[in-house]
């Protein structure tokens, strides 16, 4: 296996994870039906996971999940920081 092939595959899986995690960070759970929201997210994530598994292999899935978790965390933290600064500047 060529080195460039490995790098492009890993970066590609991770980049899709970054985008997916960032999108999930914007999800606001519907208080009336949180289970539906959670199930929808799990369903959608499993479809993308299956696709990565189909095109690459299970090792790329780890990069996808890791990147998605990282992007989700960064996005949620950014929103929290913005909310806190807004509360301070606009009481």
Partner 1 sequence: MDTQTASTVQLIGAGCFGAIIGWYVYYINRYRKSDVQLSDLVTVIGTIGGGAVLTLFPAKSDLFGAYGIGLAVGFFGYFIVLVILVAESQNFDGDWFLDGRRKMPGKNTVIPTNDNTGHAMVINDDTGKLDIH
Residues in touch with partner 1 (CB under 8 A): 1-2, 4-5, 8-16, 18-20, 22-23, 26-28, 30, 36-37, 40-41, 43-44, 47-48, 51-52, 54-57, 79, 82-83, 85-86, 90
CA 68 – CA 54 distance, rounded (Å): 18
Task: State the minimum distance, in angstroms, from the CB of residue 79 to partner 1.
Answer: 7
CA 29 – CA 11 distance, rounded (Å): 30
Check: CB of residue 24 under 8 Å from CB of residue 79: no
Q: Where are the alpha helices (DSSP H) in 26-57?
A: 34-55
Task: State the minimum distance, in angstroms, from the CB of residue 58 to partner 1.
Answer: 12
Task: State the minimum distance, in angstroms, from the CB of residue 77 to partner 1.
Answer: 13
């Amino acid at each position: 296996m060529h080195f460039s092939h490995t790098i492009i595959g890993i970066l590609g899986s991770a980049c899709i994870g970054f985008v997916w995690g960032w999108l999930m960070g914007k999800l606001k759970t519907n208080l009336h039906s949180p289970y539906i929201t959670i199930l929808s997210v799990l369903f959608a994530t499993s479809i993308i996971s299956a696709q990565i598994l189909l095109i690459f292999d299970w090792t790329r899935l780890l990069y996808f999940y890791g990147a998605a978790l990282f992007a989700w965390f960064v996005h949620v933290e950014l929103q929290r920081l913005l909310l806190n600064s807004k509360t301070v500047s606009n009481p």
